[in-house]
Amino acid sequence: MTREVIEAILAGGFIENRKAHLTTAVALNQSRPRIPQTGIPAPLGATVLSAGVNFAVFTKYAETVQLLLFDGPEDAAPSHVIDLDPGVNRTNYYWHVFVPHLGPGQTYAWRVQGPTRSGDGHRFDGEKVLLDPYGLAVVGQDIYDRQAAREPGDNCAQALRSVVVDTSTYDWENDLPLPAPSGREVIYEMHVGAFTAHPSSGVAEHLRGTYAGLIEKIDYLKELGVTAIELMPIHHFDTQDAPAGLTNYWGYSSVAWFAPHAPFSSNRSAVGPVDEFRDMVKALHKAGIRVILDVVYNHTAEAGADGPVISWRGFENSAYYILKKDKSLFADYTGCGNTINANHSIVRRLIQDSLRHWVREMHVDGFRFDLGAALARGENGEPMANPPVLWAIESDPSLAGTRMIVEAWDTGGLNMVGSFTGERFDVWTGPYRDSVRRFLRGDKNTIETLMARIVGSPDLFTKPKDRPFVSVNFVTCHDGFTLRDLVSYDKKYNEANGELDRDGSNDNLSWNCGIEGPTDDPKIAALREKQVRNFLCLLMLSHGTPMLWMGDESGHTRRGNNNPWCQDNELNWFDWDLVNSNAGLVRFTRELIRFTGSVEILQDNRFWSATSSDHLGDISWHGTKPGKPDWTPDSHCLAFTLEQPKTGRNVHVMLNAGGQELEFELPAAPPDMNWVRVVDTSRPSPDDLPRRESSTALDTESAMVPSHSITVLQCQDKPVK
């Protein structure tokens, strides 16, 4: 519904002579009395109109509903409390009121009273102050107390509040969401706050850890060569949802699906985070970098039965959450105490409206759905063959050009990698991570599976319209070891998280290369450097969509903590000093992205065919001898050739994950061309990936590949004599 239509409805007399009760004795503005009127049920949330603001919320079983208006964002009490009359301000399941003379920046919240029979799934609490599920901004972070939202009693003085926002006034300067790149996307997963929080960032102190701070580092991202950033959660989240004395830093604890996280903004005004987030998106788009949001629609910060009442629970607990047969208990398929009832009609619409908002009003280019398999569960928790919410997202024309990526599993055991609903959801491919880690660690029986991962996992993605770019390949991500720690630790060290080292995965498929943790041993340090380059090289040479984790390109370590979700400190912060001290690794990553971006076959979104005796395909497989891959259990080597018939610049890759140097016989180069070494992970920078003019042609029919290393050759024209 457009603003013009809403104005016309209101002007048509729908609100005239149908006044709700204003319970406060003091007018908001004596010269312009704001007498509340009926309003309309759509759109939900707070809608700014020329004469005031229309408020509308869903709550089916509520008995009384109050709108609270605050003069200041952190006032201990509202200046006005508007009681909504169910005979006047209710239409079907929706409560609504129009308040004249209000505008953007107005702080507001709700109170809702209804049945308190938890056995029926109800958890109404008329003393708790509630965020609007459709609220576009959140204030009150400095006064908020999670414990006050859990305990009995009035928490108004310590509650978060929503803010009225007019999204139509921002100057986008003709910006629009960016189209998908012509080739494959190179994704850089990152945390907004951690990217510039470290003093070494060089960002002004008041901008560190903010959207504005990220803007100052766009040149770094562009030079690195990434084409998209995937932001860890930026929906406003509960920083207090963490063990005592720690902070929920990663943000997987949402309280508002339409509002950017306010502490990530240097603009401390009520609506400042909205505009600063959009400034960031606009600046990234100008640099040609797309923005993907990690969205958490599978659970909320309201936790389990003893959790706080912040928003959804106080409006309609039985609608928003999947409950057990005993409706006083919450089903938990997320490991966070609750699971969103995503396929309930009201919740499905809420999720869809949230996605539309971030695309239409905030211009984001894509989404990554945390624990996306949870969205396939029905109201009884059982997996659904055709989940309505996923089909609604799949078919929404407003989202037709938006990239959709899912983490295709949940903690309840549902794994949908390769079988996720629909045709347009791309997938974080955990099996890619595991296969590459096993191979480079030197495990047995890894060759055949690795081959499938290198070519885009066609064994997993078998639907008729599946293509290699569906597979989002990664070796590391926010969850688990960093790349430096993957080659430095055999076990996790999570004691600092306050959970007695019980959190985080115990099965990391890591290898410390001989010594646990930091070392001064030059041989082990050199081996670790090789392994880091091996992981990066194999990732970028595999078919699919590669994803890097922030800081892996500069050797960031979390000192063995594989789950620092509650650490607002250097365990998570990007250390910009490492960009200089590990400049060789940064250069290797940058040049590797550039090189693989020039390999045409990697940019072609189709599954490759393999060379056979009567057919020249896209890829041919080898071992130490051409055409003879070694699939035996003890094999630790593999080679493959990527054919590029248009240019003849074929690429030949030799992988040696074993402990001994191996001699690989080379396939014949095309006529008038030589094999030239372009990558050698056994060599220090800059010889690990030399400049093209510094590359030397091989004048032999074989190449020696050192232990635990990768060598990449490319065909180049023979020099003219």
**Coil, strand, or helix at residue 287?**
coil
Separation CA 662–CA 411 (nearest Å): 42
Q: Which two tokens stand for residue 270?
A: 């009520």
- Whether residue 662 lies inside any domain: the answer is yes
What is the overall mean pLDDT for the chain? Answer: 94
Stretch 105-114: mean pLDDT: 98
120 CB burial (10 A radius; 0-12, 13-18, 19+): middle
Task: Look at residue 158 in the predicted model and tell me its pLDDT.
Answer: 98
- Whether residue 440 lies inside any domain: the answer is no
Stretch 679-693: mean pLDDT: 91
**Which of the residue ranges 85-89, 331-335, 671-675 would you say has the lowest mean pLDDT?**
671-675
- Whether residue 290 lies inside any domain: the answer is no
Percentages helix, strand, coil for the chain, rounded to the nearest 5? 25, 20, 55
Residue 614: pLDDT band with limits 50, 70, 90:
low
- Whether residue 686 lies inside any domain: the answer is yes
Spell out a b/e string for 284-321, using b for 16 or more CB atoms within 10 Å of the CB, else e: bbeeebbbbbbbbbbbbbbbeeebbbbbbbbbbbbbbb
Beta strands in 306-455 (DSSP E): 366-369, 403-406, 425-428
Q: Report the candidate in 83, 248, 259 with the shortest Cα–Cα distance to residue 161.
A: 259
Look at residue 131 and tell me whether its pLDDT is greater than 90: yes
Residue 691 lies in domain: 609-717
Residue 672: pLDDT band with limits 50, 70, 90:
confident
The CA-based dihedral angle spanning residues 14, 19, 22, 25, taken in that order and rounded to the nearest 10 degrees = 120
Report the CATH number that the domain containing residue 660 is assigned in CATH. Answer: 2.60.40.1180
Task: Tell me how far CA of residue 245 lies from CA of 177, 240, 303, in angstroms.
Answer: 40, 9, 19
The three-state (H, E, C) secondary structure of 558-586, written as one string: CCCCCCCCCCCCCCCCCCCHHHHHCHHHH
Question: Looking up tokens 């065909």, which residue turns up?
Answer: 715
Residue where a domain stops, chosen among 135, 169, 203: 169
270 touches 91 (CB < 8 A): no
39 touches 61 (CB < 8 A): no
Question: Looking up tokens 């007018």, which residue turns up?
Answer: 27
254 touches 235 (CB < 8 A): yes
Q: Please calculate the CA angle 685-689-691 and round it to the nearest 5 degrees.
A: 105
Q: Quick one: how far is CA 192 from the chain centroid?
A: 11
Residue 657: φ, ψ to 5° = -95, 5
Instruction: Specify whether the backbone of 560 is left (phi greater than 0), alpha (psi in -120 to 50) or beta.
Output: left
Q: Report the candidate in 583, 617, 622 with the shortest Cα–Cα distance to residue 711.
A: 622
User: In this structure, are strands 52-58 and 94-100 parallel, antiparallel, or unpaired?
Assistant: antiparallel
Task: Look at residue 634 in the predicted model and tell me its pLDDT.
Answer: 97
DSSP label of 10: I
502 CB burial (10 A radius; 0-12, 13-18, 19+): exposed
Residue 675: φ, ψ to 5° = -80, 130
Sign of torsion over alpha carbons 55, 60, 62, 63: positive
The CA-based dihedral angle spanning residues 714, 543, 547, 398, taken in that order and rounded to the nearest 10 degrees = 130
What number of residues does the chain have? 721
Residue 5: pLDDT band with limits 50, 70, 90:
low
**Which of the residue ranges 25-39, 73-87, 177-191, 203-217 would you say has the lowest mean pLDDT?**
25-39
Number of domains in the chain: 2
39 touches 67 (CB < 8 A): no
260 touches 138 (CB < 8 A): no
Separation CA 490–CA 481 (nearest Å): 10
Residue where a domain stops, chosen among 169, 187, 206: 169
Cβ-based neighbours of 83, under 8 Å, separated by 6 or more:
20, 21, 23, 64, 65, 66
Separation CA 68–CA 154 (nearest Å): 13
Residue 10: pLDDT band with limits 50, 70, 90:
low
Look at residue 59 and tell me whether its pLDDT is greater than 50: yes
Task: Look at residue 28 in the predicted model and tell me its pLDDT.
Answer: 42
Stretch 610-624: mean pLDDT: 85
- Whether residue 100 lies inside any domain: the answer is yes
The three-state (H, E, C) secondary structure of 257-281, written as one string: EEEECHHHCCCCCCCHHHHHHHHHH
Q: Report the candidate in 422, 125, 434, 437 with the shortest Cα–Cα distance to residue 302.
A: 125
At residue 324, what is the residue type? K
Spell out a b/e string for 562-593, using b for 16 or more CB atoms within 10 Å of the CB, else e: bbbbbbbebbbbbbbebbeebebbbebbbbbb
Report the CATH number that the domain containing residue 96 is assigned in CATH. Answer: 2.60.40.10
Task: Look at residue 721 in the predicted model and tell me its pLDDT.
Answer: 59
- Whether residue 664 lies inside any domain: the answer is yes
Residue 30: pLDDT band with limits 50, 70, 90:
very low
User: In this structure, are strands 619-622 and 637-642 parallel, antiparallel, or unpaired?
Assistant: antiparallel
pLDDT tens across 351-406, in order? Answer: 999 999 999 999 999 999 999 999 999 999 999 999 999 999 999 999 999 999 99
DSSP label of 157: G
Separation CA 478–CA 184 (nearest Å): 22
**Coil, strand, or helix at residue 143?**
coil
Q: Which two tokens stand for residue 66?
A: 């109050």
The most confident of the ranges 14-23, 446-455, 604-613 is 446-455
**Coil, strand, or helix at residue 554?**
helix
Separation CA 694–CA 587 (nearest Å): 16
β-bridge partners, 383: 377
In angstroms and rounded to an integer, the radius of gyration of the C-alpha atoms of the chain is 28
Residue 553: φ, ψ to 5° = -75, -10
**Which of the residue ranges 19-28, 294-303, 479-488, 496-505 would you say has the lowest mean pLDDT?**
19-28
The three-state (H, E, C) secondary structure of 62-110, written as one string: CCEEEEEEECCCCCCCCCEEEEECCCCCEECCEEEEEEECCCCCCEEEE
Hey, which residues are catalytic here? 370, 407
Separation CA 492–CA 570 (nearest Å): 17
Q: Quick one: how far is CA 525 from the chain centroid?
A: 32
Separation CA 378–CA 717 (nearest Å): 60
420 touches 394 (CB < 8 A): no
Q: Please calculate the CA angle 319-321-501 and round it to the nearest 5 degrees.
A: 170
β-bridge partners, 236: 256
DSSP label of 636: -
At residue 134, what is the residue type? Y
Residue where a domain stops, chosen among 169, 191, 217: 169
Percent of the chain with pLDDT over 90: 90
pLDDT tens across 480-533, in order? Answer: 999 999 999 999 999 999 999 999 999 999 999 999 999 999 999 999 999 999
Instruction: Specify whether the backbone of 261 is left (phi greater than 0), alpha (psi in -120 to 50) or beta.
Output: beta
Residue 18: pLDDT band with limits 50, 70, 90:
very low
193 touches 264 (CB < 8 A): yes
Residue 698: pLDDT band with limits 50, 70, 90:
confident
Report pTM: 0.95
State the first-to-last Cα distance of the chain, in angstroms, to the nearest integer: 72
Task: Look at residue 19 in the predicted model and tell me its pLDDT.
Answer: 39
- Whether residue 307 lies inside any domain: the answer is no
Separation CA 544–CA 434 (nearest Å): 16
- Whether residue 23 lies inside any domain: the answer is yes
**Coil, strand, or helix at residue 715?**
strand
Separation CA 428–CA 547 (nearest Å): 9
